[in-house]
Chains A and B, each alone.
Chain A
Amino acid sequence: MTAVIGRLGYIRPIGEVVFSHPSCNPELENLDWDWRDVEIGDARRVEGGGCTLERHGFTTMPHPTAVTNWEGTAWQPQFEQEAVAMVQQATGAAKVVVSHYSFLPRSTRFAAEGGPLGFCHNDYTGGSAARHIARDCPELAPDFLKKRFAIYNLWHLISPPPQSVPLALCDATTVAIADLIPAEARAGTKEKPFVFGENSMFRYSPRHRWYYYPDLRNDETLVWCGYDSDPQFPSIVPHAAFKDPSVKDPKAERTNVHGAVYAFFD
């Protein structure tokens, strides 16, 4: 299997509550970085037809979007409609709802806020996933808690390949419970921060197996499981952006839209 070596942002436990910020501004975070060079394999070449939601917690789905103009926010309703239908069909969920923070662009062209996130994280913990859904979908709470629910993160490239800063994803079954560091997800300013969720950060372990999708195309969407209440599915997939050393043009842009959907099963 082909693999590249990428540098990933792990952290270490510290003497206070850990918090991160989507700007990656060190003044707004207290992360004790532990950068590691790790092998990142080609997810498409994994035996059995590439990585799957059932075995690793992530996959790609065909998604030839009808959106042609990604300026502004006019593309959102069309893209969301497609995302909901795609996830519903792929997972068999009875109902799929777009999460409150979806969908937003992220790009290597953007500085700070909206740039690639270098820390290994998952947007949820085993506790916060249900709280996010309960907050965004009060009309479904608390009944949704009685049946299977899941959160899928979606990642769709709008710049052409290659990507200088792709996304690495970790096979969730290679992560131990002690590798997970629950952390506050903060937004706002240094003076006035607010906590909008609890996410999972990770310490280094040589057992983690990392993958990425080289040359992700514009007619497919990368999907990983942020949380699944069904214990037979791997979830809480750690992910982080990394510089792909095999991409010759170091300025090759990576612009994508990303977001999450909530899936409810009968």
Chain B
Amino acid sequence: MSEPVYAPLGYVAPMPVYPKSAPVPSRNEMKYDFRVMPIHDGRAIPGGATLAKNGFTCVRHPMTRVDFDAGTAWEQRFLDEIVDYIKGMTGQSDVVANHAAPRSTRFKDSDGTIDFVHNDYTGGSIGIFINELDPARAEQRLAKRFAVYNIWRMVSQPPQSRPIALCDPGSIRIADGVPSQTYYSGERYEQNFLLRYNPAHRWYYFPDMTPDEMLIWTGYDSDPSMPSIVPHGAFDNPNCTDPNAIRSNIDTRVYVFFDD
């Protein structure tokens, strides 16, 4: 097993008020508790990281090239390619991806990298997101197994100055999760999980990701035998010494409604 890297991760400190976590600094009302943690090489996990075992995986899946500087024409094709992959991976047909967010260390403010450790959903807000996809079908979709996968793809070439660290959900004590209101747009906030520091947490990252790879983690799975809720946050990569290195990526979420 290769040596871990050590970097500060943005945990939340105990707060006397309800935290608000926002990628927009002016809307962020959380008290940070940065902690230097060992972050292990996800590629070195024996047998490879899998969704069933670890709650995250990194797969080879070449995509059509995306250029952030050439408008938004890439978005639909990008989502279609991912939906096709997830359909094949799960064997399901009711698969929905409704939004792709470009992020880059080149961008300022809201589209920059997110340093607070969080999971986009809690067991309390997942149903609200599914209801929003299609209110008419929500009750039926919530009655069977459903899952949401976060997808993370590089647009820039390695190395990455600010990779993403993922926390093994099996290493989390339930009291470590701090429900927070996270900012979406307008005045809209929805509940996500921030994370309190616990030395038991096991962190991983995938070094030198390429645009031919796709990182997948389980934001929520209604099947309790599948690990889900994978807190994640960006960190400064101490192994990246190239001063011109950037990190440009696309971040999306895919909802899967299982038939069985």
Contact = CB atoms under 8 A, between A and B. Distances in A.
Interface of A: 12-18, 125-131, 134, 141-142, 145, 149, 172-173, 175-183, 198, 200, 203-207, 227-229, 231, 234-236
B15 A231 contact: no
18 contacts: A12-B222, A13-B142, A15-B138, A125-B178, A126-B176, A126-B177, A127-B15, A141-B16, A172-B173, A176-B170, A178-B169, A180-B177, A182-B122, A182-B179, A203-B222, A204-B224, A229-B196, A236-B174
Contacts of A229: 14, 196
Interface string B195-225: 0111110000000000000000000111011
B91 interface: no
Interface stretch (B64-72, B99-107, B123-131, B152-160): B123-131
A234 B173 contact: yes
Interface in B116-160: 122-124, 126-128, 130-131, 135, 138-139, 142
A127 B123 contact: no
A14 B128 CA distance: 7
A178 B124 contact: no
A178 B200 contact: no
Interface of B: 13-19, 122-124, 126-128, 130-131, 135, 138-139, 142, 169-170, 172-180, 191, 193-194, 196-200, 220-222, 224-225, 227-229
A9 to B, nearest CB: 15
Contacts, number: 133
A18 B179 CA distance: 13
Contacts of B193: 177
B196 A177 contact: no
Nearest to B13: A145
Contact of B127 (A14, A141, A173): A14
Contacts of B222: 12-13, 203
A126 B126 CA distance: 18
Given A127-B178, A206-B225, A231-B176, 5 more contacts: A13-B126, A15-B131, A126-B179, A178-B228, A181-B124
Given A12-B142, A16-B128, A131-B16, A177 B172 contact: yes
Contacts of A15: 127-128, 130-131, 135, 138-139, 142
